[in-house]
Structure 1
Amino acid sequence: MSRILLIIVAVALFCSPVLAKMPAEKDGCGTQECSACHSLSLEEANKLLSFAGVTVKSVKPAPARGLFEVLFEKAGGVGLVFVDFAKKHLVQGMVIDLQTREPVAAHDKELPKPKQFTGVDPAQIPVKHAFTIGNPKGSKKLYVFTDPDCPFCRTLHGELLKLEKLMPDLAIHIMLYPLRQLHPQAYDKARVVLATKNRKNLDLAFDGKELPKLKGDAGAAAVDAVITFAQEQGINSTPTILLPDGKPYQGQRDAKSLQIILAQ
């Protein structure tokens, strides 16, 4: 769901007033190479993205006019973002070719292909690093990979609170999986929740409210373990709901719908 939202944001940017004010073709930005009018150096790109703690490796024209495609490196991995010609907006997500309906990027060959997630053996899920709500000893299990700063996750969290009341024999394992490139503050929020194991802090995190401050790296090992597991399995979006058999749930994400599928 997060990736779909990013695509929508990207489309919105293409139609933004900033791009609308760019020179028309007759003004010299039409059939010419865009580099004749616009440029973004590695030094500039690194300054623009310094807030994210990344190292820009290369900058190329994006497949869609009006954007630069920026390849960066962080913590041993690589990622891709787009910067508009005005150097005022950053877009995270994919550029979709409306003819082929496929993602396109000049850096495709440099980026690892995401693994398709089809499910996992529930016994492999690191539930010791979960925050479990509902009945920890319940005979039914639900696994939710979720990010406290993801808007879809926040909506789902409210439904999970309803679900635990509807199903007293259900253990809901909250696997905190912060998508740091999208939500830079989510990692520390996840750390606080897992370090304190305080239900109030869990709910505060998903309510977008302030959490207590931690000293040192408390909770980091647990969060890192969940992130590593999710990435190795190909779980690349939040929220991802896994049923008791470890298969991803694709239905409506409201408490009643989840109750029905879990009761089957």
Structure 2
Amino acid sequence: MSVFRILGGAVLGLAASVALAADPDQSIRATLTTLQPDMPIEAISESPMTGLYQVHLKGGRLLYASADGQFLMQGNLYQYKNGDAVNLTRQAESKGVAKEINAIPISEMVVFSPKEPAKAHITVFTDTDCGYCQKLHSEVPELNRRGIEVRYVAFPRQGIGSHGYNSLVSVWCAKDRQAAMDKAKLGQDLPAATCDNPVAKQYELGQMIGVNGTPAVVMGNGDLIPGYQPAPQLAEAALQSK
């Protein structure tokens, strides 16, 4: 998202020529739409820090702004509480991510479920051409044995039209998605298939919530874990965050 590149994690003072509206919501919106007209703003509210407002973007991401909209900040807001530094930004963003992930119909995923009722689930943004995705997939039976349901969504790292994209489309369009995923993760070529599929939509969602590589694992509470983790460690994290 271009606004994050614009801000670069720093405070930005805008020129006085930016027209300011009468209330914080209007002032902040005016600033952000000047920077990026299609900014996906979902809500603006007061943050836990007095005088600082938080901007909720579609996908769960947060920005912070002054009431007059002249100062913007991208980064983490911490609260020192009971002897610990609590990352308030991560808490809020995780809730937003969980909302987006939970809105994905199960029918649009490739799901590997335990034989017994699942104790927890993880949602994995995956690319069939990714070596660590293949390694993680080899441990899906162990995750299932530990009670973790694995829900795959598509994230072709090389973009729409790439080999990974076409492979993922073939998986999603196969009669048996699980078998097709197993073959793809073993590096086997799949029969080319086309259908009405969610691969591009899921790729866009991944970018929106901050996925920039695979595998990217989303816990039940919306926490995003980038990269591969061994099954025992991943299962423990899933059980703690359900």
TM-score for the superposition, normalised by structure 2: 0.53
SS in 2 for 1:249: strand
Distance in 1, matches of 2:235 and 2:112, equals 15
Distance in 2, matches of 1:204 and 1:132, equals 15
Distance in 2, matches of 1:234 and 1:259, equals 22
The answer to whether the Cα contact below 8 Å between 1:132 and 1:172 also exists between their aligned partners in 2 is yes
Q: Does 1:195 align with 2:179?
A: no
Report how many aligned residue pairs link the two structures. Answer: 146
Report the residue type matching 1:171 in the other structure: E
| Cα shift readout 1:156-178 (whole Å, capped 9, x = no counterpart) | 111223211222xx321111211
Match of 2:235 in 1: 259
Match of 2:223 in 1: 247
Deviation at 1:261, TM superposition (A): 2.0
Distance in 2, matches of 1:208 and 1:183, equals 18
Aligned residue runs from structure 1 range 45-56, under 5 A: none
Unaligned runs of 5+ in 2: 1-74, 77-89
SS in 2 for 1:171: strand
SS in 1 for 2:158: coil
The answer to whether the Cα contact below 8 Å between 1:251 and 1:257 also exists between their aligned partners in 2 is no
Report the residue type matching 1:207 in the other structure: L
The answer to whether the Cα contact below 8 Å between 1:163 and 1:255 also exists between their aligned partners in 2 is yes
| Cα shift readout 1:122-158 (whole Å, capped 9, x = no counterpart) | 2311244211111496351201111110111111111
Query: Closer, same or farther in 2 for the Cα pair 1:210/1:160, shift >3 Å?
Result: same
Aligned residue runs from structure 1 range 32-181, under 5 A: 119=94, 120-125=96-101, 126-128=104-106, 129-135=108-114, 138-167=118-147, 170-181=148-159
Structure 1 residue ranges, 4+ long, deviating more than 6 angstroms after superposition: none
Query: Closer, same or farther in 2 for the Cα pair 1:226/1:182, shift >3 Å?
Result: closer
Distance in 2, matches of 1:211 and 1:191, equals 10
TM-score for the superposition, normalised by structure 1: 0.49
The answer to whether the Cα contact below 8 Å between 2:214 and 2:226 also exists between their aligned partners in 1 is no
Q: Does 1:233 align with 2:209?
A: yes
The answer to whether the Cα contact below 8 Å between 2:216 and 2:224 also exists between their aligned partners in 1 is yes
The answer to whether the Cα contact below 8 Å between 1:134 and 1:165 also exists between their aligned partners in 2 is no
Deviation at 1:252, TM superposition (A): 6.6
Query: Closer, same or farther in 2 for the Cα pair 1:263/1:192, shift >3 Å?
Result: same
Report the residue type matching 1:132 in the other structure: V
Match of 1:9 in 2: none
Deviation at 1:222, TM superposition (A): 0.8
The answer to whether the Cα contact below 8 Å between 1:130 and 1:175 also exists between their aligned partners in 2 is yes
Match of 2:43 in 1: none
Report the residue type matching 1:248 in the other structure: L
The answer to whether the Cα contact below 8 Å between 2:143 and 2:235 also exists between their aligned partners in 1 is yes
| Cα shift readout 1:223-248 (whole Å, capped 9, x = no counterpart) | 01101111122211111111110101
The answer to whether the Cα contact below 8 Å between 1:242 and 1:248 also exists between their aligned partners in 2 is yes
Unaligned runs of 5+ in 1: 1-114
Match of 2:184 in 1: 205
Distance in 2, matches of 1:252 and 1:193, equals 21
Query: Closer, same or farther in 2 for the Cα pair 1:189/1:173, shift >3 Å?
Result: same
RMSD, matched Cα: 3.0
SS in 2 for 1:253: coil
Structure 1 range deviating more: 223-232 or 177-186: 177-186
